[in-house]
Amino acid sequence: MTRVSFEKELGHLQDEVLVLGSMVDKAIDRSIEALKRRDLEEARRIIADDLVINRKRFDIEEQALLVIATQQPMARDLRFIASVLNIITDLERMADHAEGNAKITLLLGDEPPLKPLIDIPRMALKTRDMLRRALDALVARDAEAAKQIAHEDDEVDALYDQVYRELLTFMIQDPRTITRATYLLWAAHNLERIGDRVTNICERVVFTVTGRMEEMNVSTY
Amino acid sequence: MFRSIRWRIGISSLTLIVVCMAILSVYLLNYVREYYLSNLGPQLVAQANLVAALAEKHITSGGSDDLDALVKRLGQQTKSRLTVIDRNGVVLGDSMEDPATMENHGQRPEFLQALSAGVGEGSRYSSTARLDMLYVAVPIHANGDVAGVARVSLPLQEVNESQQRAASTIAFAISLTGALVILLAFLVTGMAVRPVKQLTQMVRAFSAGRLDQRIRVDSQDEVGELAEAFNQMSERLEETIETVSNERNRMAAILSSMADGIIIVDGEGKVTLLNEASQRILRLPRQDYLGHSLIEVVRDHELARLVKDSIERRGGQEIMARLVETGVPRRILRAVITPIKEGETRHTLVVLQDLTELRRAETVRREFVANVSHELRTPLASIKALVETLRDGALEDTAAAKDFLTRMETEVDGLTQLVGELQELSRIESGQVALKPEPTAVLTLVVPATERLRTQAERSGVTLTCDVSSQLPDVLADGVRIQQVLINLVHNAIKFTPPGGQVTVSASAKDTAICLSVADTGIGIPSDDLPRIFERFYKADKSRSTGGTGLGLAIAKHIVQAHGGDIWAESLEGHGATFIFSLPIAAGVPE
């Protein structure tokens, strides 16, 4: 009986992590869409919604601690809950980066667009894809998949590099673009950080499965 | 083995028969013995009385030797053993033995009985004769007093023998009957049990899934009835199962062929059904989703929240419809959530519709309207400006006025062309333009088109070459329209190719189609723009207006598609572009 309810509680905890993951994923998507469309209203909503995400994170943390206190989990289950505590922190930080991008949208305001955004949405797409699959790996307890995803962070870094160089060219050619280009660079940097956080999640998945802590992909930024 | 009906019936009837016959035989054997004895008894009593009468006077006279002789003589005549005993038990005469050697008979039961009751009887083993003997003794009366006892004895051998004969007859009868009973029981139960065995086999086959099993019914008895009932039942069962499985297959077929995604979630929030469309719409990899929580499957907290709300609002029957943006990349879904009640269990039905394409089409239409107004406003604004300038005095300056009028004419021509192309595009798009495709040689399409543009190419310093073999099979094409497409493509190629460049028109056969291509060595198209260049008003290089309405490629695309062909572009930025379109080969020609 206790065993069954414990399994149920673990399943519920995992579902809650997935809910938070979905919230964060949407925040990233919406923040980039707002940046692309210069949608200030949407940007303000994203900033407001970040509070919900923060609350959810504390909520899950409390549930996880409650499971530890009442069920005294062992081995893999304990590692899973410990990982959950770390993963929700990473997720919450990712949401903060998304919120950061929404703030950049507000900063850019009505200034004319520097250039159509191509690589930044691509970075967002890549990091979101990685996040989704990292959570898949967590659900499947698949350490191999997690390692694979962590390696893909190089693609995000490469895109960031590209954006950086491109924006630098703009700034060199026309100093009037420096403010806007810098804002966009921040946005790209936020996405790059999000990619790193996905790598952290992957590390936690590997820890849950194998019990080994491994630094997976040391970012150059 | 002994648990089967056959054995149980066989053994029990056998036991019954054997017990009955055993009781009967015990009774019979006793009866036979009694009968013999009751016949012999009086006879022996009579003999004994006779001997007693004859012996009387010998006893009274005391001549014991005479008595013995008499007894021996009588014994020979009666073929019985006769014995005369005096009242003290001393044997006075015996037909078989010498009385002097015989022991005292005073304690023999028949002797004592004769003295006390008048007649004594008894049967026992005689040590003298070494046989089972029947004894009958009567007292000898002399002078009103008992002087002795006369005893007649007869061996029981005969009685025993007849009893044994009866016993063996009975034993034979018992075994014969027993054998018959066993045989009969086996036959009868065998007949009764066979259909039962068949029934068992059929039921086993039935449970293994072979539903077409039937029993051949031979007997009209209860078992036969049972088999008949079983056949009927299996028929009904087969029909029912077939109906149910047909129903299920149809449901499965409907579910899997539906364009809308269907997900059913149970009261615990676990997925119990997920059709193929759902997998497609949600971009899920193929795997087993049943029994997993909804959030785990769809990974969308908004959708999961909607379903959770529906589950928690027990009893509520309202249907909710929401738009949900989900997935990487983002898709727009319409989710309709309906609580369903099946007896006691509550489920939630989620219907998903993919509105992404619809939304995109809406965006395209909105952009189109914006583009059209923009395209119209620009020349109109310039005409307006020219008109105002003329009115404000430029009309006086004849040379300037003429120049202005020429420019106005150009703008009006541009507007006319734009409106004309818009009209044409909408007609082609809505299928109002009737194409007249007929087998046409590829050369007759390519040559007039290139010849028309040759002077323009020469003026731009571009070399225009036509590399089309006359050996190619005919295509099914509306000549005028396809020439229009070719002219548009070649015109574009010349426009985007700097002087000294090359434009090449070529054709090649591919399976059932001919691919015509227009390749240039111009500035090329950025890879990001490639998928979009066939959209209306899409211009790759927005900063440098190269003239044109922005509708040419859109029209070309629609014409080619109306022919059942396809059009696409390949380009490496800075290294020229190649536009390729395919046309179907006219049927019957490919051989």
- Please name which of A130, A129, A135, A122 lies closest in space to residue A187, comparing C-alpha atoms: A122
CA distances B90 to B59, B96, B152, Å, are 12, 16, 16
β-pair partners for B508: B515
**pLDDT 10s digits, B122-145:** 777 777 667 778 888 888 877 777
Q: What is the pLDDT of residues B222-235, one digit of tens each?
A: 777 887 888 888 88
> ∠ CA(A187), CA(A192), CA(A196), 5° rounding?
145
Q: Which CATH superfamily is domain B5-162 in?
A: PAS domain (3.30.450.20)
Residue A89 CB: number of other CB atoms within 10 A? Answer: 15
Give alpha helix (H) positions in B79-156.
109-117
Q: How far is CA B265 from the centre of its chain?
A: 25
Instruction: Give me the residues of chain A with pLDDT under 70, please.
Output: 1-3, 217-221
CA distance A128 to chain B (A): 7
- Enumerate the residues of chain B whose CB falls inside 8 A of the CB of residue A88: none
Closest alpha carbon within chain B to A23: B301
Residue ranges, comma separated, of all CATH 3.30.565.10 domains in chain B are 438-584
Q: Do A129 and B328 touch (CB under 8 A)?
A: yes
Q: CATH 1.10.287.130: which residues of chain B?
A: 359-429
Rounded Cα–Cα distance for residues A141 and B470 (Å): 64
pLDDT above 70 covers a percentage of chain B that reads 94
* Residue B503: half-sphere exposure toward Cβ, Cα within 13 Å: 29
Lowest mean pLDDT among B27-36, B44-53, B138-147, B294-303: B138-147
pLDDT digits (tens, 9 = 90+) for A63-87: 999 988 888 888 888 999 999 999 9
Cα–Cα distances (Å) from B588 to B39, B584, B585, B591, in that order, read 126, 12, 9, 7
- Evaluate whether A114 touches A177 at the Cβ level (below 8 Å): yes
Residues of A in contact with B330 (CB under 8 A): 29, 33
- The torsion of the CA quartet B581, B584, B589, B591, rounded to 10 degrees, works out to 80
What domains are there in chain A, each with its CATH number?
A: 2-210 (1.20.58.220)
CA dist., res. B585 & res. B563, Å (int) = 11
Give CA–CA dist B528/B516, Å, rounded.
Answer: 24
Q: What is the pLDDT at residue A2?
A: 59
DSSP string across B358-393: HHHHHHHHHHHHHHHHHHHHHHHHHHHHHHHHIIII
Is the domain covering B359-429 a CATH 1.10.287.130 domain?
yes
Closest to B560 in 3D by CA, of B503, B484, B451: B484
State the fold for domain B438-584: Heat Shock Protein 90 (3.30.565)
CB nearest to A29's CB, from B296, B299, B330: B330
Q: Over 60: is that where the pLDDT of B546 sits?
A: no
What does DSSP say about strands B131-142 and B145-155: parallel, antiparallel, or unpaired?
A: antiparallel
Which of the listed ranges A187-196, B222-231, B283-292, B569-578 does the model predict with the highest average pLDDT?
A: A187-196
A40 backbone dihedrals φ, ψ, rounded to 5°: -70, -35
pLDDT at B544: 43
Q: Are B82 and B73 in contact (CB under 8 A)?
A: no
Per residue in B476-519, pLDDT tens?
A: 888 888 888 888 888 888 888 888 888 899 888 888 888 888 98
Q: Which of B296, B326, B329 sits opposite A15 (nearest CB)?
A: B296
Chain B residues close to A129, C-beta within 8 Å: 328
Residues paired with B123 in a beta bridge = B134
Burial level of A81, CB count in 10 A (0-12/13-18/19+)? buried
Could you list the beta-strand ranges (E) of B95-204: 120-126, 131-142, 145-155
Domain limits, CATH 3.30.450.20, in chain B? 5-162, 258-354
Buried b / exposed e over B36-74, threshold 16 CB at 10 Å, is: beeebeeebbebbbbbbebbbebbeeeebeebbebbbeb
More confident residue, A43 or B316: A43
Which of A:137-166 have CB within 8 Å of B?
A: 139
Fold of B258-354: Beta-Lactamase (3.30.450)
Q: Is A11 on the interface with B (CB under 8 A)?
A: yes
Give the pLDDT confidence score for residue A199 in this predicted structure: 93
